């Protein structure tokens, strides 16, 4: 049962003063409203009816909107004044710390940083690598091909005998400063017999007798260089210390298996060595003996350097042009013209 007294409905159709009555209801809403419940009509206070349906009164839609609260959060890409003040204070603090350091402390910090970087680079440097050569070629040591090459040689040493021993692979970098190289003799592959290879092409360790190719080199020297006599051994260290780079294209080999380390990455590395000499030095004499050495030296700038070519001193080809080539005396003549000290080929 509805306890509220029903309010009579107005007659259908507009009545005089209907518009004025409508706006009066908007501005000052009636104290009650009417709705149907089943077949009966009930009257409720207007506010209660609005609360029941969960909506605002019509009067609310025509009221001015309340002012919005100002956000304290920073705008995108910006910051509050407090944040700016904090950043400025931090910057001033860091600047104060830097200015508080003495010149000696700053220099010590610089040296420590440089030393740390050097130690980091040295971790990848192969054993026995000359310092001046390391400074110019260090970028190669971390390249994928060189990392793979070192891993390959390490695995080979676990399974087989590999020449030369690790500390002698880079003997050619220990003999002279990289900028003091005056002559380059290119070889192909290290000797693969016991106690022969020691990091200098064509050279063997004492007291191993000279191999056939080196014997032929000595024969040519005896006819080309005055007072040259056979040294009785095959160690060419005396030449290397004067600036003669004795460089094989491949720097390691498995015992008794010639060219077993061919195309594993050594050729790429020694190409970099030749390229550095070609681009950074002047007046170097390159002795290219045989087709292999001549291909490797094909990119050398002939206007910048001197090229001497002939066949390889191997017994198979020595008589086809190596004997009588006079490369050793010609080399000294070219060095003198460049204002460089000639090589004493007898100093073995």
Which domains occur in the chain, in start order? Answer: 113-338 (3.40.470.10)
Q: Please report where in the chains the tokens 């910048």 appear, as a residue.
A: 304
pLDDT of residue 39: 45
Tens-digit pLDDT profile for the chain (348 aa)? 444 555 555 555 555 554 445 445 544 444 544 444 444 454 444 444 444 444 555 455 555 555 555 545 444 444 455 555 555 555 555 555 556 888 888 888 888 887 776 666 666 789 999 999 999 999 999 999 999 999 999 999 999 999 999 999 999 999 999 999 999 999 999 999 999 999 999 999 999 999 999 999 999 999 999 999 999 999 999 999 999 999 999 999 999 999 999 999 999 999 999 999 999 999 999 999 999 999 999 999 999 999 999 999 999 999 999 999 999 999 999 999 999 999 999 999
How far apart are the C-alpha atoms of 187 and 203, rounded to whole Å? Answer: 10
Query: Nearest Cα to 241, choosing from 200, 293, 283?
Result: 200
Using left for φ > 0, alpha for ψ between -120 and 50, and beta otherwise, residue 275 falls in alpha
Catalytic annotation, pick one of 82, 189, 224, 235? 189
pLDDT of residue 65: 58
pLDDT of residue 56: 52
pLDDT of residue 111: 87
pLDDT of residue 50: 44
Catalytic residue check, 189: yes
pLDDT of residue 194: 95
How far apart are the C-alpha atoms of 125 and 148, rounded to whole Å? Answer: 14
How far apart are the C-alpha atoms of 172 and 187, rounded to whole Å? Answer: 12
164 prior amide bond cis, ω within 30: yes
Beta 285-289 vs 253-254: how paired, if at all? unpaired
pLDDT of residue 53: 47
pLDDT of residue 226: 96
Beta 40-45 vs 32-37: how paired, if at all? antiparallel
How far apart are the C-alpha atoms of 295 and 187, rounded to whole Å? Answer: 12
- pTM of model > 0.75: no
How far apart are the C-alpha atoms of 188 and 293, rounded to whole Å? Answer: 7
The answer to whether residues 175 and 146 touch, using CB atoms and an 8 Å cutoff, is: no
Q: Which own/partner pairs from 34-39 qualify as long-range (CB within 8 Å, at least 24 positions apart)?
A: 34/6, 34/7, 34/9, 37/2
């Amino acid at each position: 049962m509805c306890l509220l007294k029903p309010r009579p409905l107005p007659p259908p159709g507009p009545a005089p003063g209907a518009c004025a009555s409508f706006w009066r209801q908007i501005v000052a809403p009636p104290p009650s409203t009417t709705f149907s419940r089943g077949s009966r009509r009930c009257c409720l206070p207007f506010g209660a009816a609005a609360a029941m349906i969960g909506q605002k009164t019509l009067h609310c839609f025509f009221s001015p909107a309340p002012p919005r609260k100002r956000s304290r959060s920073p705008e995108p890409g910006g910051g509050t004044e407090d944040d700016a003040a904090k950043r400025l204070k931090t910057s001033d603090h860091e600047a104060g710390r830097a200015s508080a350091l003495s010149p000696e402390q700053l220099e010590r910090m610089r040296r420590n940083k440089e030393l740390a970087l050097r130690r980091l680079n040295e971790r990848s440097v192969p054993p026995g690598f000359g310092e001046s050569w390391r400074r110019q070629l260090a970028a190669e040591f971390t390249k994928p091909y060189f990392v793979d090459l070192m891993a390959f040689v390490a695995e080979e040493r676990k399974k087989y005998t590999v020449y030369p021993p690790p500390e002698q692979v880079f003997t050619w970098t220990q003999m002279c400063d990289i900028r003091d190289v005056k002559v380059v003799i290119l070889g192909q592959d290290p000797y693969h017999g016991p106690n022969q290879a020691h990091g200098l092409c064509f050279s063997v360790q004492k007291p191993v007798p000279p191999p056939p190719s080196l014997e032929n080199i000595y024969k040519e020297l005896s006819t080309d260089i005055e007072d040259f006599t056979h040294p009785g051994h095959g160690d060419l260290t005396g030449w290397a210390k004067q600036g003669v780079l004795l460089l094989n294209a491949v720097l390691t080999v498995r015992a008794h298996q010639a060219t077993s380390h061919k195309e594993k990455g050594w050729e790429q590395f020694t190409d970099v060595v030749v390229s550095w000499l070609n681009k950074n030095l002047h007046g170097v004499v390159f002795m290219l003996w045989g087709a292999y050495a001549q291909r490797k030296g094909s990119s050398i700038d002939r206007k910048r350097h001197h090229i001497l070519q002939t066949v390889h001193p191997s017994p198979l080809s020595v008589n086809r042009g190596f004997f009588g080539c006079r490369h050793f005396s010609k080399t000294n003549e070219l060095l003198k013209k460049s204002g460089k000290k000639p090589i004493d080929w007898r100093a073995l």
